[in-house]
Amino acid sequence: MASFLPVPSLRIAYALALALFTASCQAATEPDTVAKAVAPHSECGENRFAHPALKTGQHRGAARVHPPRPAKGDSYRDADYGVCITRLTDHRKEPPEGFARVLYSRFQAFNADESRILVLDHAGYWHLYDAESLAHIKQLNLGGASVEPHWHPSDPHLLHLLPNNGGLALHTFHVEREQRRTIVDFTALRSIAGYPDTHDIRKIWPKAARVWTRWEGSPSLDARYWAFQVETADEEPLALISFDLTTQSIIASYDIQDVGRPDHVSMSPKGNYVVASWPEKAADCPLFRKRGTLKKPCGLMAFTRDFRKATALAGNSPHSDIAIDAKGREVIVISNYASGDVEMVDLASGDVTRLWRMYIDGASTALHVSGKAYRKRGWVLISTYWAKDPENAKPWYENRLMAVELKEDPRIITIANIVSKTRTYFSEPHATVNRDFTRVVFNANWGTGKDEDIDTYIAWLAPGAIPGT
């Protein structure tokens, strides 16, 4: 079963492939294009957010005849669930080259007022789209595919970003003015905890060449607290750090030179935990231990922001995202391919709650998680792909967008079917949700199985479709 499931090396291969285009990303952008309205949503009536009540439970849809691929700006209603889905991009007619896709399920595609959407193309360029008219606004020169852009939590014009593949600075980028500003210089910090009168991280780690999350991390939801890994130019791991943007200081650090390089690191939404995920064999949890500790971390770990305590979350590095449940707890939702369950794990205690089972009658699936609906706490978005069905069991979860409640025996609300065929990492849906769970953005190739034939689509949900405040 593990042979068909995604592994961290595919994520790395994807990022490395995009990195090959870094040089071209340094070129000047083309002149701004005028955003032209495309009269979207015509097939969905006057209200694209209107749809029948969504089905709850492990619902098996009818035998589906998928609709033709819509043109740019056109919409259709999902035959099983009635949700309106609109095509946002057309990589063959618009500037994006090779494909036009949202980066990953762990990233927020919408800016602060949800007027703009950020899309990535195969050449490593980023593109700005109008979230209402769906028009392509312009290509942005952010400096490369691996700059890890994150929308500012309150200013809809600003992105936070790093140098390509990390560096010793943190920047903001104004998407309208196309102005870059350095807001953090890691060689001239105000303070570094544990190192009085030291302001340059190279004084602590002389070979330090970059800080980054390694593609998949996010800051706290207010963007005050960040988690980074410090590395040499040769990708040798040095340390994990927690950083306070407000005070321009490293709060704490954790040496990983003898531990190994994490697949990625992220700050939790409330800024309480640094979550690191180790996939390397050297840092995988040994069979006799199964879980990591503060002194011997392995697999998926949550450290307190000061690195004084650690909680083991999983024995390996699964697909996951961090979210906030209805009780206000910070949790992580993972696809546990060892147990065969989708699980929620409390970052504070490590307590595991089983959500639903992936292995049913010989069938299984791969999936991605998006926990970015911070204004609809207690729910995550899950997108499934690469379903394995050797006995023609027709599992209920095949190629789906679904909202999953963060509690024992959760409600599972199916949103729509994904019309796509996954061949490699490039053609996975990587669906991500907006803050109040009224828009879902995902990638699809409409069954062609081609990695380069990917476009971005939006599913529109009624404000009350997903319960909660």
The pLDDT tens digits for 129-140 are 999 999 999 999
Rounded Cα distance, 163 and 157, in Å: 19
Write down the pLDDT at residue 3: 31
Question: 36 pLDDT band (50/70/90 cuts)?
Answer: very low
Write down the pLDDT at residue 395: 85
Those residues whose C-beta lies under 8 Å from the C-beta of residue 64, and which sit 6 or more positions away, are 79, 80, 417
Task: Show the tokens assigned to 192.
Answer: 């570094």
Segments of 216-316 assigned E as strands: 225-231, 237-244, 249-255, 264-267, 273-277, 300-304, 310-314
Interval 148-170: pLDDT, tens? 999 999 999 999 999 999 999 99
Write down the pLDDT at residue 134: 95
Instruction: State what percent of residues in the chain have pLDDT above 70.
Output: 89
Total domains present in the chain: 1
Interval 289-305: pLDDT, tens? 788 999 999 999 999 99
Write down the pLDDT at residue 40: 55
Question: Is it the case that residue 256 has pLDDT exceeding 80?
Answer: yes
Are the C-beta atoms of 246 and 301 separated by less than 8 Å? no
pTM for the whole thing? Answer: 0.91
Question: Is it the case that residue 17 has pLDDT exceeding 70?
Answer: no
Write down the pLDDT at residue 64: 67
Task: Show the tokens assigned to 460.
Answer: 């529109």
Question: Is it the case that residue 9 has pLDDT exceeding 50?
Answer: no
Nearest to 332 by CA among 297, 281, 361, 370: 370
Tracing tokens 């703009």 back to the chain, one arrives at: 116
- Is position 469 within any domain? no
Task: Show the tokens assigned to 333.
Answer: 């939702």
Interval 430-463: pLDDT, tens? 999 999 999 999 999 999 999 999 999 999 999 9
Q: Is the pLDDT higher at 129 or at 15? A: 129
- Is position 21 within any domain? yes
Are the C-beta atoms of 120 and 95 separated by less than 8 Å? no
Calculate mean pLDDT across residues 240-251.
98
Write down the pLDDT at residue 29: 34
Are the C-beta atoms of 421 and 447 separated by less than 8 Å? yes
Interval 320-371: pLDDT, tens? 999 999 999 999 999 998 899 999 999 999 999 999 999 988 889 999 999 9
Question: Is it the case that residue 12 has pLDDT exceeding 80?
Answer: no
Task: Show the tokens assigned to 145.
Answer: 């595919």
Task: Show the tokens assigned to 363.
Answer: 């069938």
Q: What is the DSSP string of 200-227?
A: -GGGTSTT--EEE--SS----TTS-EEE
Write down the pLDDT at residue 394: 72
CA distances from 246 to 165, 169, 223, 243 (A): 24, 15, 9, 9
- Is position 401 within any domain? yes
Calculate mean pLDDT across residues 8-29.
38
Write down the pLDDT at residue 362: 86
Nearest to 270 by CA among 222, 218, 321, 333: 222
- The mean-pLDDT minimum among 211-215, 229-233, 241-245, 290-294 falls in 290-294
The three-class DSSP label of residue 64 is coil
Half-sphere exposure of 171 (CA within 13 A, CB side): 20
- Is position 268 within any domain? yes
Nearest to 171 by CA among 146, 145, 199, 149: 149
Exposed (0-12), middle (13-18) or buried (19+): which is 141, by Cβ within 10 Å? middle
CA distances from 304 to 55, 271, 322 (A): 39, 9, 15
- Is position 127 within any domain? yes
Rounded Cα distance, 231 and 167, in Å: 9
- Is position 196 within any domain? yes
DSSP state of 4: G
Write down the pLDDT at residue 100: 96
Question: Is it the case that residue 5 has pLDDT exceeding 50?
Answer: no
Are the C-beta atoms of 436 and 375 separated by less than 8 Å? yes
Q: Is the pLDDT higher at 416 or at 97? A: 416
Question: Is it the case that residue 26 has pLDDT exceeding 90?
Answer: no
Question: Is it the case that residue 31 has pLDDT exceeding 70?
Answer: no
Calculate mean pLDDT across residues 170-193.
98
Quote the mean pLDDT of the chain: 89
Q: Is the pLDDT higher at 60 or at 77? A: 77
Write down the pLDDT at residue 60: 81
Write down the pLDDT at residue 59: 85
Write down the pLDDT at residue 282: 64
- Is position 467 within any domain? no
- Is position 413 within any domain? yes
CATH number for position 353 = 2.130.10.10
Rounded Cα distance, 406 and 408, in Å: 7
Question: 30 pLDDT band (50/70/90 cuts)?
Answer: very low
Q: How far is CA 422 from the centre of its chain?
A: 18
Range of the domain at 147: 2-460
Rounded Cα distance, 440 and 446, in Å: 17
Question: 63 pLDDT band (50/70/90 cuts)?
Answer: low
The CA-to-CA distance between both ends of the chain, in Å, stands at 39
Calculate mean pLDDT across residues 208-223.
97
- The mean-pLDDT minimum among 33-47, 152-166, 259-273 falls in 33-47
